[in-house]
Amino acid sequence: MAVSTNDLRNGMTLDLPEGLFGVVEFQHVKPGKGGAFVRTKLKNVRTGAVVERTYRADEKLEQAIIEKKEMQFLYRDGDDYVFMDSQSYEQLPVSKVALGDAANYLKESDEAVLEIYEGEIVGVDLPASTELKVSETEPGLQGDRVSGARKPATLETGLVVQVPLFVNPGDLIKVDTRTGEYLTRA
């Protein structure tokens, strides 16, 4: 579906010859001399690379329609993650590569919104934070309350995060899924 550069909005997805890009920001510029143009910052949906492009005003671009499906993560099957559609109960195997960093935060029975374009998974929307169990870290000692001191901890999904000294193996912690940082004990 063709869309004019005058109608661009943040979050819109475009199907350009170089690949699938999401509009991060745009600015309509009307100089005193010459024609108007639209300056954009676009993020590649598959690789995450950000590029800046300038288009003439009212230039036509191809808009990509992204289907969003709410699905539940069931289990891992080798390198695949098996999801179940919440409405139809249909199961869908998804490769770890397609999930990207989201694979580090998924545990069984978690809900996620998969972004699908022409049958291909191009992204995953996770909640802002998730609770994960610490599987491995040095045990906390009495008096380990130094402000700002951190130690590495391996979580149940295999993700390694820096946590305060008082966190012990078996503790449930809250992790920010956007940055991968420790937030608080759950």
Q: Do 64 and 15 form a contact (C-beta atoms < 8 A)?
A: yes
Judge residue 71's burial from the number of C-beta atoms within 10 Å of its C-beta, 0-12 exposed, 13-18 middle, 19 or more buried.
Answer: buried
Shared domain check, 145 and 121 = no
pLDDT at 75 over 80: yes
Share of the chain above pLDDT 70, in %: 96
Q: Pairing between strand 129-136 and 150-155? A: antiparallel
- Same domain, yes or no: 46 and 74: no
Same domain, residue pair 92 and 107? yes
Residue 106's pLDDT band (boundaries 50, 70, 90)?
confident
Number of domains in the chain: 3
> Are residues 42 and 16 part of one domain?
yes
Tell me, what's the pLDDT at 41?
Answer: 93
Residue 57 has a pLDDT of: 86
- Helix H or strand E encompassing 91: strand 91-95
Question: Are residues 115 and 162 both part of a single domain?
Answer: no
Which residues lie closer than 8 Å to 115 by C-beta, 6 or more apart? 45, 66, 67, 68, 121, 122, 123, 124, 125
Which CATH number goes with the domain that contains 58? Answer: 2.30.30.30
Domain end among 125, 143, 168 = 125
* Domain end point (choices 62, 78, 107): 62
- Domain that includes residue 92, residue range: 67-125
Cβ(38)–Cβ(55) below 8 Å: yes
pLDDT given for residue 108 in this prediction: 85
CATH of the domain at 98: 2.40.50.140
Of the candidates 96, 125, 154, which is a domain's last residue?
Answer: 125
pLDDT tens digits, one per residue of 21-68:
888 899 998 888 888 899 999 988 877 788 999 988 888 988 888 888
pLDDT digits (tens, 9 = 90+) for 134-177: 888 887 666 656 667 788 888 888 888 888 888 888 889 898 88
Query: Is 71 found in the same domain as 33?
Result: no
- One domain for residues 145 and 162: yes
